């Protein structure tokens, strides 16, 4: 049976989070994802726990939460997280040893089949792609070390389009479910300052759901991609998200 997965960079608690949280909540209730990957979770606010409660109430199904904080001083600030209604068999983490960036893996049992779902957020868009390439090499080596599972999904903000060496290497091993633009939305703070002013608005895809060969992509698109009806500068985040309906086949 198909299942739905989505991913979103939350932009921590920046840029009017109390106001835009309602947009995130509403989209979660609309999407009803079976699996939701999250980047830039605010650790002080325990954001992932709150969103788990929202999607659990919206669907009437209890969701599990797995979370991995970033390394060193950022461990008190930011985390990667996964919400899922599926049973969690195990979790693990990888420290890339660059910029305190980490990856989380959660092994799920979907229709009695084990599936590894990875969540990561690579080096910022203005950073050197050589560092992102190093991170992808480390990530793929880690995935290869866990070959006792036949299905793999990798989610998150990769901060690179597929013409960059880092994302191109990822695409040599996994298929992106879609390529519509996810960065950057016109989200602004309460003084009107837009996120990432040095980039055009929604001109490129840098957020992905990547899937291994045996997983069938039924349908996919962007989500968390509409502003508040009453305020065109208020968006769920500075990124749009990605959703995909998948089938293990």
Q: At residue 1, does pLDDT exceed 90?
A: no
> pLDDT confidence of 126, banded at 50, 70, 90?
confident
CATH number at residue 207: 3.60.10.10
Mean pLDDT of the 196-212 span = 97
Q: How far is CA 69 from CA 82, 95, 101, 115, 236, in A?
A: 12, 10, 9, 22, 22
Q: At residue 127, does pLDDT exceed 90?
A: no
Q: At residue 173, does pLDDT exceed 90?
A: yes
Q: Residue 74 has what pLDDT?
A: 94
Query: Residue 94 CA to chain centroid, in angstroms?
Result: 16
Domain count, the chain: 1
Percentage of residues in the chain having pLDDT higher than 70:
100
Q: Residue 81 has what pLDDT?
A: 99
* E runs forming strands in 122-231: 151-157, 175-176, 207-211, 216-223
- pLDDT tens, residue by residue, 33-59: 999 999 999 999 999 999 999 999 999
Structural domain boundaries enclosing 158: 3-247
Mean pLDDT of the 16-39 span = 98
Q: At residue 202, does pLDDT exceed 90?
A: yes
Q: Residue 88 has what pLDDT?
A: 98
Mean pLDDT of the 155-161 span = 98
Q: Residue 133 has what pLDDT?
A: 97
Rounded to the nearest 10°, the torsion over CA 44, 16, 156, 78 is -20
Q: At residue 222, does pLDDT exceed 90?
A: yes
């Amino acid at each position: 049976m198909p299942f739905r997965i989505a991913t979103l960079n939350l932009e921590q608690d920046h840029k009017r989070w109390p106001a835009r949280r309602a947009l995130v909540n509403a989209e979660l209730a609309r999407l009803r994802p079976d699996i939701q990957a999250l980047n830039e979770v605010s650790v002080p606010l325990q954001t992932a726990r709150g969103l788990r409660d929202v999607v659990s109430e919206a669907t009437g199904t209890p969701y599990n939460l797995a979370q991995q904080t970033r390394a060193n001083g950022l461990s008190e600030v930011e985390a990667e997280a996964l919400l899922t209604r599926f049973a969690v068999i195990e979790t693990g983490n990888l420290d890339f040893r660059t910029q305190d960036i980490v990856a989380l893996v959660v092994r799920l049992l979907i229709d009695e089949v084990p599936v590894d779902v990875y969540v990561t957020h690579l080096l910022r868009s203005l950073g050197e792609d050589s560092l992102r390439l190093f991170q992808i090499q480390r990530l793929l080596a880690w995935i290869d070390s866990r070959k006792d599972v036949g299905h793999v999904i990798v989610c998150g903000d990769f901060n690179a389009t597929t013409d960059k060496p880092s994302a191109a290497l990822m695409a040599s091993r996994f298929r992106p479910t879609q390529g519509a633009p996810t960065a950057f939305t016109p989200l602004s703070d309460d003084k009107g300052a837009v996120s990432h002013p040095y980039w055009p608005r929604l001109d490129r895809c840098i957020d992905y759901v990547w899937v291994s060969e045996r997983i069938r992509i039924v349908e996919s698109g962007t989500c968390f991609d509409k502003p508040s009806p009453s305020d065109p500068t208020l968006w769920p985040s500075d990124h749009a998200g990605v959703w995909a309906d998948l089938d293990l086949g």
